[in-house]
Homo-oligomer: A and B are copies of this chain.
Amino acid sequence: MVTDAADMDAYLSEPRDLFHGDALCVVRPEDAGEVARVLALCNELGVGIVPQGGNTGLVGGQTPDMSGRQIVLSLQRLDRVREVDPSSDAMTLEAGVTLARAQEIAQSVDRYFPLSLASEGSCTIGGNLATNAGGVHVLAYGAARDLVFGLEVALADGRILSTLGKLRKDNTGYNLTQLFVGSEGTLGVITAATLKLFPRPRSRAVAFLGLDDPAKALALLNFMKGHAGPGLHAFELIPRVGLELVLRHIPGARDPLLSPHPWYALLEIAGFAEGEAERTAALSLAQALEAGLAHDATIAQSLDQAESLWRLRESLSEAQKREGGSIKHDVSVPIERIPAFIAEAGARIAAAFPQARPVPFGHMGDGNLHYNVSQPVGADKAAFLARWDEMNEIVHGLVHDYGGSISAEHGIGRLKRNLLARVKDPVALDLMRALKKTLDPRGVLNPGKLI
């Protein structure tokens, strides 16, 4: 147990310090039994518990409120590997194992664990599942939700539920596992998970293409899905304005194509037979160029080149940060509507925020855009950021009109809790509240988050 103020600090705010709070103490249990005992006690006393993994969440789900009356429950010491079974394509890890370590464990038995995101060095499996983390390979493998066989969960009353197991098929009752995935610690505390392993791709091709507009990107996406099938591992959209920010602010970044294009697609193809990815990429991209879906394309000729291309994409947030203030949205719309959404959102923002610079980029293959708007050149950063809610209103309103989601992959947490009540179907909200009451009648699990 940590009660010293200085030692507690690291648990009370998140790295960007957008969310912070106070707490009675930080508890660091060693195993699921200890987690369950903490829960039972807090439930009896009516003390709010804030579960925390790697503390990398972006919506404030993992930090306590300002009351100083909640406790932070760190899962970091639950970091044992319980079992790795490559023949059943399964591994059972405790909640505090980091995502990067989970990937390494898979690799050590010649398997692949596809979840991959920017914070993978510090985020944990428990947090990934509690927030249903997304990342760059959702297109081919789904989100965290799709990568789990079963869970061990400490319930509010101190009982431990286990759906752990390595079964691909088990039709014996309600799916309790999926109830906890994405519930942001409000229904139970995940203490361990059996995760799915996949065959390791033996070949990989990464390509960067210059395009006219998002409509061409959509056509290219459909074309590539048809030609690479489940081998299409990633399809990311990048606007020229975003690439320019990267070229300006990120040391070592260079434009991979000879001349500029209004839009870009970064795509990755995986293959299992020798040379399959390269063959598929070369053939299909030649056809795509011939069909006018793209104007120029480069295929990475080495691992280094592949990593450079990916770095362009992954540096977008950092480059926007260095350029000044940016107002962020993590949204999704049906894939087919992305071009119309980008056009209409751009027009509305131009009307309300003249000179502001939308940089719509992200996982186009999943319909997920990080629709981040950079401040006008030379404008006052604070004044721009002060209009955060107004900008959100415009973008989220449009997302709603397009049948989209205001939180594609980052979750609700504290940031979007009030918003949720406005956009969610009332029957769904009502059911969510009923489930919360059933599983956490005293309301001690991550109070004030999500619901």
Contact = CB atoms under 8 A, between A and B. Distances in A.
Interface of A: 85-90, 110, 131-132, 134, 138-140, 142-143, 145-146, 155, 159-163, 165-176, 178-179, 181-183, 187, 198-202, 218, 222, 225-231, 270-273, 276, 279-280, 283-284, 332-337, 363, 366-368, 403-412, 416, 420, 423-425, 427-429, 431-432, 434-435, 437-439, 450-451
B170 A408 contact: yes
Copies per assembly: 2
Given A368-B169, A408-B169, A227 B182 contact: no
Contacts of A161: 425, 427-428, 431
A358 to B, nearest CB: 20
Contacts of A429: 173
B143 A169 contact: yes
A311 to B, nearest CB: 23
A199 B171 contact: no
A42 B337 CA distance: 41
Given A175-B182, A438-B438, A170 B431 contact: no
A271 B272 CA distance: 11
Contacts of A166: 334-336, 367, 403
Contact of A273 (B170, B270, B283, B337): B283
A412 B175 contact: no
Nearest to A283: B273
Contact of A451 (B173, B202, B229): B173
A366 B168 contact: yes
10 contacts: A89-B335, A139-B168, A142-B146, A173-B432, A174-B432, A202-B226, A226-B272, A229-B231, A231-B272, A435-B435
Given A272-B231, A283-B273, A431-B161, A411 B171 contact: yes
A417 to B, nearest CB: 10
B229 A201 contact: yes
Nearest to A430: B159
B432 A272 contact: no
A132 B171 contact: yes
A83 to B, nearest CB: 10
Contacts of A431: 155, 161, 174, 176, 439
B169 A174 contact: no
A167 to B, nearest CB: 5
A382 to B, nearest CB: 30
Given A163-B428, A438-B438, A332 B174 contact: no
